Amino acid sequence: MTKIGLIRHGLTEWNYLGRAQGISDIPLNEQGIQQAVKIGERLANEEWDIIISSDLLRAKETAKIIGSRMGLPITVDQRIREIDCGEIEGTTEDERVIRWGKAWREADLGMEKFETVAQRGIGFLEDVAIRYEGKSILVVSHGALIGLTLQHLLPEKFPTTHIDNTSISILQHHEKEWNCQLYNCIKHL
């Protein structure tokens, strides 16, 4: 059995302000650094083999903090970066409504399709389950990528999702079957 712990990065200033981040490379803020320290301390008492991080700064910083507490190597994979939010990156909901109207979600603003994000995430998980069969892998990624992946991987369990900063969700893969053992856990906070 392969175990995969999906962790959302720590808080950034744009998270705090309600700005869409997408693939903008925003660092953790002080609170996000403290969140990463807390989950690193929680996980230091568990058995994990490797950390794989998104290539975006906020995820890499989170992974580095966790890895320093656990003495684990970190690899980077671009497939688990956040959804590309196109023209809405850097804007708040209010700014989007002013700029594009209340129906802005229906406009073509260059945003990556949810299905594409989910397929990226599922493809990554399937590769990891094969490559690291029998291992325990931590994956530091992003809210939309994790949520959309779970919704498409286990749709009956996750018709919708909410992923908190530095939450951990644990998947198990055994004989081509996926199971979610833990979802959006933030007990370390």
166's CB contacts (< 8 A; 6+ apart) are: 7, 8, 9, 10, 11, 32, 35, 36, 38, 39, 62, 186, 188, 189
**13 in active site:** no
**133 in active site:** no
170's CB contacts (< 8 A; 6+ apart) are: 3, 4, 5, 6, 180, 181, 182
The rounded Cα 20 to chain-centroid distance in angstroms is: 15
Q: Which of 9, 61, 89, 173 is catalytic?
A: 9
Q: Which of 13, 30, 47, 82 is catalytic?
A: 82
Positions annotated as catalytic residues are: 9, 82
